[in-house]
Structure 1
C-alpha cells in the first residue's frame, strides 16, 4: 500500500523581515502484516484498522488509504470461510446498500452447505484460505465514497497460481468506512479473472 505523500509546507517571511522554521513533513505510515487465517492483510498505524477484536476490524481513517484498507479488511471478512461469528456481524454492521441483506442470506447458505459437506460443527470456521492480497487499482475516490479493484492470488487445484480482481465500493458513514454490498449480494458479480498486474499498484511489504 502506498504511504501518504510527504507534505511540503512553504512559509514565507513576513513584511518585517522575520522568518519562521518550516513545519516538519508529515509522518509516513508504518505498515505491518497480519495473517488472517491464511490471508495476509496490511495494517497501518495511521490509517487502520484501529480496532482488531474477535477477528473483526474497525476504525479506518477518513483518507484514501483508510478507504483502501477498509475495502480490503471488510471485504475479506464478509465471507463464509470464517464462520458466522465473523461474517454475520461484519455484514450486518459494516456492509450497506440495497443488496446487503441478500449478501448475508447467500453467505449463510454457502457457509451451511460447505460446513455440512466438510462435516464440521455448527459455527466453526471452514478452514484457512491461503490467499495473498497482492495489488490494487483505484477506479474512483471522493471524500465520502470510493471504488477500488483489489487483486487476490492463490493456488488452484493443480497448484497453479491464479489471480482475480474484485471491485469493492466503500462509503463513509457514521464515522467509518462501510463496504457497499455487491450486485445481488454475490461477490462473483464483482470479480473477474486477471492475467497481468499491469496498471496495478502492489501492496508494499
Structure 2
C-alpha cells in the first residue's frame, strides 16, 4: 500500500472547489487553520496508458450540471434523480466517482444526498459526511428560504478533466477537476481526489477525510497533466 502525500494548503483567500458540492464554494481562512490530512491509501498497479472515455462518452443534464454518461460504463440505473450501476472498468470507476460525489452534495436536498451517502458511500467517515451534508443543507435552506426537503437550486459547476492516480478492478483513485464562477467574473478551478471501491457488485465512493470534501480539494492554476473530458457541453 502506498500512502499518498497530503494535499497542499490553499492561500488565505481560498477557493475550495469540490465535485460533490455541485458548485464552487469560497472560504476565507488562515493558512494555518486549513486542515491538511493524509490522503486515502490506494494500491498502485503497474503504470499503463491512461484509460480513455472516447468514443462512448455522452453528456446528460443534472439540475443544471452536465454529467458524463456511457452506454457501456454507466450509470445503468437512473431513477428519482439517483444513479447507480457502473461497469467494473476504468471508465465505470471514473463515472461512478463523478456521479456519486455530485449527488452527495447538500445542494440537491435530502431526497438525493441521503440515499446516495447511505447506499453508495462507504468507509469510516460515511456518517460524518452525512452529518456535514445535513448541516449544510439546513443552514443554506434557511438562508435561502427554501422549503424543507426541496433542492437548494441548480448546480453551476462544470466537470472539466480527470487524472488517474491508481486503478485496479477493486480500488481506484482519481483526481477530478471542476470549475465554477468566482468573484469579479473570474473562474475558480480545483481538483478533488476521489477514491472508489468495488463493493457488493458496484463501485462505491470512500468518504473523504473528516466527512468533508474540502479536505480532498486543492485550488488549481492550470489543468496541465489532466485529461480533459471530451465532448463536454
Q: Deviations over 1:129-174 (max 9, x none)?
A: 2111000000111110000000001111322111010000000001
**Do 1:2 and 1:203's aligned partners in 2 also have CA atoms closer than 8 Å?**
no
Q: Deviations over 1:67-119 (max 9, x none)?
A: 00000000110000000000000000000000000000110000000000111
Structure 2 distance, partners of 1:153, 1:113, is 23
Aligned pairs for 1:1-205 (under 5 A) are 2-3=52-53, 30-205=56-231
Aligned residues: 181
TM-score normalised per structure 1: 0.86
* Structure of greater relative contact order (alpha carbons < 8 Å, 6+ residues apart): 2
Distance 1:157 1:127, change over 3 A: farther
Structure 2 distance, partners of 1:82, 1:42, is 18
Offset of residue 31 of structure 1 = 2.0
TM-score normalised per structure 2: 0.76
Structure 2 distance, partners of 1:123, 1:148, is 32
Structure 1 distance, partners of 2:64, 2:186, is 17
**Do 1:171 and 1:179's aligned partners in 2 also have CA atoms closer than 8 Å?**
yes
Offset of residue 30 of structure 1 = 2.5
SS in structure 1 at match of 2:147: coil
Structure 1 distance, partners of 2:203, 2:217, is 21
Structure 2 distance, partners of 1:3, 1:110, is 33
Taking only aligned residues, the RMSD between alpha carbons, in angstroms, comes to 1.1
Structure 1 distance, partners of 2:165, 2:149, is 36
In structure 2, stretches of 5+ residues that fail to align are 1-50
Structure 1 distance, partners of 2:179, 2:60, is 16
**Bigger radius of gyration, 1 or 2?**
1
Structure 2 distance, partners of 1:114, 1:134, is 26
In structure 1, stretches of 5+ residues that fail to align are 5-28
